A and B are shown apart, each in its own frame.
Chain A
Amino acid sequence: MLDMYSGLRALRAGLDAGRTSPGELFAMCRNEIARRDDGVKAFLTLVDDDPETQRRLRGEGPDAGYAGYAADGAAREGEAEFASDGTAPDGRSGSAGALAGIPYALKDNICTAGIVTTCASRILAGYTPPHTATAVRRLAQAGGRLLGKLNMDEFAMGSSTENSARFPTRNPWDLERVPGGSSGGAAAAVAAGMAPYALGSDTGGSIRQPAAYCGVVGLKPTYGRVSRFGLVAFASSLDQIGPLTHSVADAALVLQQIAGHDPRDGTSARVETPDFSRGLTGDISGLRIGVAREYFSEGVDDGVRRKVEEAIALLAKLGARVREVSLPHTRYALSTYYLIAPAEASSNLARYDGVRYGYRAKDADNLVDMYSKTRSEGFGAEVKRRILIGTYALSSGYYDAYYKRAQQVRTLIRRDFDEAFADVDVIVSPTTPTTAFRLGEKVDDPLTMYMNDVCTIPVNLAGLPAISVPCGLDRGLPVGLQFIGRMFDEVTLLGAAYVYERAAGHSPLRPRFAPEVTGHGV
């Protein structure tokens, strides 16, 4: 019987065989949401399955948002050769493809024309963008059906989704625990079977860490692989959109649809989009896997360590050549990240001033008063903390010591990976040092909270692709295994993760409340 754990190929086959319909799949998701989301609280906004919404997200019709930004034809002068003419380049499928008729959900920092997009922040309460993110437009063009928008840490700043201005999301494996963050709603929705897949965003681990905590697959593509147009910026040089799914194969299918150069994103790479499913052969004999000691520091839980070591042993048994690599600058990654990301954020978030959209404070005496009241009332504590850190790091007299220095260290971290990848094809590590922690446990201790991302942050600093796949349970909670790949080598990365996933037999991981139903039905 099909459900949202079945995987995208099974859903496709069900649709093709007439055993189910897009409307029925959408209704199944809505049923699960009705059943589960009072407890999980993953969704901020639900979207009805109406053709008008789908059409608007495809960028068609008079109300599709700003005409110039609704269709791929809006390529800039001199870039026309990169624009789509409505056909599907780069191996993207059209409305008869892999994702047609299949529901999905979006983290609420990904813009959807005509649908409220808030970044789970009070300052964007009620904000409805006139434009749609390129990644979403591509899903809509492929026939995807949007279920709704998902909870997150405000402006993607956090590791637990407790920084949402609306409410915290809970981990489907244990409602007293966090789902991770910042894409906590996305991971929880997929883990709870409320959506077959979701898009999140990853700035320092925001896809992989919640994927690990919720027992799903989370892929952060290479920086530049997926257009950031329509992703509300947190830290522009680190942000990347990616899928959360139940399997590596599903991640490859979704990536296929959202990847590719976008003339509206000057940082989207002009590289060929390969067939990401190409590497899913099940053969890794000869693959060189690196293990970096730096990712197994004293902060890593014994249970997590054990699971990850078992996984590495399994990979070796499957024919991979495992060797140790050194990433000596890893210990500076966290502090580097917490200078660069807040610096960029302090500038990216400056536009939320109450002048044009979103929240505006009442009773301001003058312009500056309006700015400061609006931002004081509109932003949550963590966002303010990072704006302050970032503003400080960029200030005259401090720039060289903080921001510039951090950029130099970032180069060293990137070089570490370059050197390691001279000897290995992928690097394996825990995704997170621990399993999901309890709600409220770390909320007053930002530094401990930041430690959650110690294994994922270096990857963003280097711009590399990485994926987290479930590697079993530790005391009833999912553990994530991270694979890190070379720049733009998602094919090898996915191939390695796929072999592990198949051999380990963990995926799809079903939380206790969603046991597999056998027998006949849809």
Chain B
Amino acid sequence: MAFETVIGLEVHVELGTKTKIFCNCANEFGAAPNTRVCPVCLGSPGVLPVLNAEALALGIRAALALNCEVRASSKFDRKNYFYPDSPKAYQISQYDEPIGERGYVEIVVGGGVKRIGVTRVHLEEDAGKLNHSPLGDYSLVDLNRVGVPLIEIVSEPDIRTPEEARLYMEEVRSILRYCNVSDCRMEEGSLRCDANISLRPAGQRAFGTKTEIKNMNSFRNVQRGLEYEQRRQAEALAAGGEIRQQTLRWDEASERTILMRSKEDAHDYRYFPEPDLARVELSAEYIAARRAEIPELPADKRERFVRQYGLPAYDASVLTASRALAEYFDAVAALVRDAKSASNWIMGDLLAHLKVTGQEIEQVNMTPQQLAQLIGLIDDGTISTRIAKTVLRDVLEQGKDPRVLIEEQGLAQISDEAALRAIAQRVIEANPKSVEDYRAGKEKALGALVGQMMKETKGKANPQMVNRMIADMIAGD
């Protein structure tokens, strides 16, 4: 029997605020345990939360960037549960009045655009971290993360394959990074994902029983975890078995999902309105101001790159992977004759350099103006493409202008007709065999002569001129 897979994602994103959502503690990753805490985030008796205006602003910006409708009036609620990662024994979250609802994200899949619905975006606080001892005889509690502002983005069950799930995650990350809402580093936990997955016979409308998978802490693991679970459910159903509603954990080491708890163990969180926080009332001006903070988003940029620069869709998607990269390209493309050459240099040598050095585009030692200058020097024949690759490497190392480096190292092409003719004469005389072969119709022999010529000029001869010149000289003998 053929099954259709139905996936919905719950994505948690830590907002890149200076301080935590309800206190003045620094919002920082990687500090020594329990050093970014105060009575408020420790839940000491008598303390009160106060909403961080920056967290609200970033949350609203994110909701708008995800095409959500933003509520003019929303509220916070308490989600009650006992666990040492939550010093108040409740999490301040939003239950029935989230800041954003009814949004969507578009992904490019199978050559087309697919829209994935965003049910809601809500603000909440993060919990602490428990480090369990290897023998399970004690657990260490680190509360630095308590109170770090989060948004939870809940998708509609519109995702049909594990690949779509990964693409959706990547697009969400890209949008939020464009908006400077979060750095979205999965490896640091600032972007996290839980997935609901179920299968149903193809053509059936009702959903099958779902399982929830947690702990998929990389894009690769999101796809692999879902692929595993998809296969597991399909095999169980095909064998006439039943899926039980469970929460599972993706175990990267064994590459399988492991049972965390079943439906019967589900918590009653006893949500109720947080009495310590006033309702969030937003004016139309406030919402408009947040909307104005949203830059051109990746999907729009991709579309524009194709339209404005005539780039292939593939180039456009690579170049818009981050806002900084796209802006870098935009800057170079504005200064060169052919935007495709800018795209080629960035996607080729520059991205390779970033990969080798582990740098981000922001850290790179070459301005868009310098890259544009380099491309201009190829275009006007001052240097060859081959020399340009060397110059590029030197620019990235030394940060000097290409023009200066070419000058310093005498790398300009020899395009002087007379000078080249003298060298060509020497090469022809020293290689009678090749000349003979060429005359006999062996086109390849010309290549050998040109190669000899480039060797004599240390690569600086203009290759087109050399080709033509040697052919003419042999023919004219």
Mark A residues whose CB is within 8 Å of B: 65-66, 68-69, 74, 76-79, 109-111, 117, 119, 124, 127, 129-131, 133, 228-233, 235-237, 263-267, 343-344, 346-347, 350-353, 355-357, 367-368, 371, 391, 394-396, 399, 403
Q: Which of B27-48 contact A (CB under 8 A)?
A: 38-40, 42-48
Inter-chain contact A130/B272, CB cutoff 8 Å: no
Q: How far is the CB of B326 from chain A (nearest CB, A)?
A: 30
The 8 tightest CB contacts between A and B, nearest first, are A350-B89, A236-B275, A394-B270, A237-B275, A78-B53, A111-B46, A232-B45, A232-B46
Nearest B residue to A121, CB-CB: B45
Q: Which of B46-68 contact A (CB under 8 A)?
A: 46-54
Q: A76-B50, A267-B278 are in contact. Are A351 and B24 (CB under 8 A)?
A: no
Cα–Cα distance between A69 and B41 once the two chains are bound (Å):
12
Q: A68-B38, A77-B19 are in contact. Are A353 and B45 (CB under 8 A)?
A: no
Inter-chain contact A351/B87, CB cutoff 8 Å: yes
Interface code B203-223, partner A: CB below 8 Å = 1, 0 otherwise?
000000000000000000000
Question: Any chain A CB within 8 A of the CB of B268?
Answer: yes
Inter-chain contact B50/A66, CB cutoff 8 Å: no
6 contacts across the A-B interface (CB closer than 8 A):
A69-B38, A236-B276, A264-B48, A344-B275, A346-B270, A350-B82
Q: Quick one: which of B38, B84, B271 contacts A66, CB cutoff 8 A?
A: B38
Inter-chain contact A131/B39, CB cutoff 8 Å: yes
Q: A347-B90, A396-B268 are in contact. Are A264 and B50 (CB under 8 A)?
A: yes
Q: How far is the CB of A293 from chain B (nearest CB, A)?
A: 31
Nearest A residue to B143, CB-CB: A356
Cα–Cα distance between A5 and B462 once the two chains are bound (Å):
106
Inter-chain contact B45/A127, CB cutoff 8 Å: yes
Question: Any chain A CB within 8 A of the CB of B224?
Answer: no
Nearest B residue to A131, CB-CB: B39
Nearest B residue to A263, CB-CB: B50
Question: Any chain A CB within 8 A of the CB of B78?
Answer: yes
User: Which residues from A are CB-within-8-Å of B80?
Assistant: 346-347, 350, 394
Q: Which of B6-24 contact A (CB under 8 A)?
A: 18-19, 23-24
Cα–Cα distance between A432 and B318 once the two chains are bound (Å):
75
Q: Quick one: which of A231, A357, A367, A396 contacts B84, CB cutoff 8 A?
A: A367
Question: Any chain A CB within 8 A of the CB of B277?
Answer: yes
Inter-chain contact A266/B53, CB cutoff 8 Å: no
Q: Which of B287-334 contact A (CB under 8 A)?
A: none
User: Which residues from A are CB-within-8-Å of B53?
Assistant: 76-79
Inter-chain contact A129/B45, CB cutoff 8 Å: yes
Q: A76-B24, A77-B52 are in contact. Are A129 and B44 (CB under 8 A)?
A: yes
Q: A76-B53, A77-B19, A347-B80 are in contact. Are A111 and B87 (CB under 8 A)?
A: no
Q: Which of B77-106 contact A (CB under 8 A)?
A: 78, 80, 82, 84, 87-90
User: Which residues from B are CB-within-8-Å of A233?
Assistant: 45-46, 276
User: Which residues from A are CB-within-8-Å of B90?
Assistant: 347, 350
User: Which residues from B are CB-within-8-Å of A66?
Assistant: 38-39
User: Which residues from A are CB-within-8-Å of B277?
Assistant: 266-267
User: Which residues from B are CB-within-8-Å of A351?
Assistant: 43, 45, 87-89
Q: A350-B82, A399-B272 are in contact. Are A133 and B46 (CB under 8 A)?
A: yes
Inter-chain contact A343/B48, CB cutoff 8 Å: no
Nearest A residue to B274, CB-CB: A236
Q: Quick one: which of B39, B43, B268 contacts A129, CB cutoff 8 A?
A: B39
Q: How far is the CB of A231 from chain B (nearest CB, A)?
A: 6
Cα–Cα distance between A78 and B141 once the two chains are bound (Å):
32
Q: Quick one: which of B38, B45, B51, B88 contacts A266, CB cutoff 8 A?
A: B51
Q: Quick one: which of B47, B82, B268, B272 contacts A343, CB cutoff 8 A?
A: B272
Inter-chain contact A77/B48, CB cutoff 8 Å: no
| Sample of 8 further A-B pairs with CB below 8 A, known A129-B46, A266-B49, A353-B89 | A69-B38, A76-B19, A130-B39, A130-B44, A233-B276, A235-B275, A266-B276, A356-B43
Inter-chain contact B24/A353, CB cutoff 8 Å: no
Cα–Cα distance between A266 and B18 once the two chains are bound (Å):
19
Nearest A residue to B270, CB-CB: A394
Nearest A residue to B45, CB-CB: A232
User: Which residues from B are CB-within-8-Å of A346?
Assistant: 80, 270
Q: A77-B53, A350-B80 are in contact. Are A230 and B275 (CB under 8 A)?
A: no
Nearest B residue to A132, CB-CB: B46
Q: A76-B24, A77-B19, A347-B90 are in contact. Are A356 and B50 (CB under 8 A)?
A: no
Q: How far is the CB of B385 from chain A (nearest CB, A)?
A: 52
User: Which residues from B are CB-within-8-Å of A356?
Assistant: 42-43, 87
Nearest A residue to B56, CB-CB: A78
Q: Quick one: which of B25, B42, B78, B84 contacts A347, CB cutoff 8 A?
A: B78
Q: How far is the CB of A459 from chain B (nearest CB, A)?
A: 17
Q: How far is the CB of B253 from chain A (nearest CB, A)?
A: 26
Nearest A residue to B80, CB-CB: A347
Nearest A residue to B55, CB-CB: A77
Nearest A residue to B83, CB-CB: A367
Q: A74-B24, A129-B39, A350-B90 are in contact. Are A229 and B47 (CB under 8 A)?
A: yes
Nearest B residue to A229, CB-CB: B48
Q: Quick one: which of A68, A235, A357 contacts B44, CB cutoff 8 A?
A: A357
User: Which residues from B are CB-within-8-Å of A394?
Assistant: 80, 270-272
Q: A66-B39, A394-B270, A396-B270 are in contact. Are A267 and B45 (CB under 8 A)?
A: no
Q: How far is the CB of B54 from chain A (nearest CB, A)?
A: 6
Nearest A residue to B266, CB-CB: A396
Q: A350-B89, A353-B89, A355-B84 are in contact. Are A267 and B46 (CB under 8 A)?
A: no
Q: How far is the CB of A7 from chain B (nearest CB, A)?
A: 30
Q: How far is the CB of B112 from chain A (nearest CB, A)?
A: 42
Q: How far is the CB of A202 from chain B (nearest CB, A)?
A: 16
Q: How far is the CB of A319 from chain B (nearest CB, A)?
A: 40
User: Which residues from A are CB-within-8-Å of B275?
Assistant: 235-237, 267, 344
Inter-chain contact B270/A347, CB cutoff 8 Å: yes
User: Which residues from A are CB-within-8-Å of B89?
Assistant: 347, 350-351, 353
Inter-chain contact B268/A395, CB cutoff 8 Å: yes
Q: A129-B45, A347-B78 are in contact. Are A266 and B50 (CB under 8 A)?
A: yes
User: Which residues from B are CB-within-8-Å of A344?
Assistant: 272, 275
User: Which residues from B are CB-within-8-Å of A347?
Assistant: 78, 80, 89-90, 270, 272
Inter-chain contact A131/B270, CB cutoff 8 Å: no
Cα–Cα distance between A264 and B52 once the two chains are bound (Å):
11
Inter-chain contact A265/B270, CB cutoff 8 Å: no
Inter-chain contact B270/A395, CB cutoff 8 Å: yes
Q: Quick one: which of B45, B46, B52, B87 contacts A76, CB cutoff 8 A?
A: B52
Inter-chain contact B44/A131, CB cutoff 8 Å: yes
Nearest B residue to A367, CB-CB: B84
Q: Quick one: which of B43, B46, B88, B270 contacts A391, CB cutoff 8 A?
A: B270
Nearest A residue to B139, CB-CB: A367
Nearest A residue to B51, CB-CB: A266
User: Which residues from A are CB-within-8-Å of B46?
Assistant: 109-111, 117, 129, 131, 133, 229-233
Cα–Cα distance between A476 and B51 once the two chains are bound (Å):
51
Cα–Cα distance between A263 and B23 once the two chains are bound (Å):
11
User: Which residues from A are CB-within-8-Å of B270?
Assistant: 346-347, 391, 394-396, 399
Q: How far is the CB of B376 from chain A (nearest CB, A)?
A: 46
Q: How far is the CB of A413 from chain B (nearest CB, A)?
A: 17
Nearest B residue to A397, CB-CB: B268
User: Which residues from A are CB-within-8-Å of B87?
Assistant: 351, 355-356
User: Which residues from B are CB-within-8-Å of A127?
Assistant: 45
User: Which residues from B are CB-within-8-Å of A117?
Assistant: 45-46
User: Which residues from A are CB-within-8-Å of B50?
Assistant: 76, 79, 263-266
Q: How far is the CB of A165 from chain B (nearest CB, A)?
A: 15
Q: How far is the CB of B57 from chain A (nearest CB, A)?
A: 9
Cα–Cα distance between A131 and B40 once the two chains are bound (Å):
10
Q: Quick one: which of B25, B45, B52 contacts A124, CB cutoff 8 A?
A: B45
Nearest B residue to A113, CB-CB: B39
User: Which residues from A are CB-within-8-Å of B48?
Assistant: 228-229, 264-267
Q: A77-B53, A395-B268 are in contact. Are A69 and B40 (CB under 8 A)?
A: yes
Inter-chain contact A371/B38, CB cutoff 8 Å: no
User: Which residues from B are CB-within-8-Å of A133?
Assistant: 46
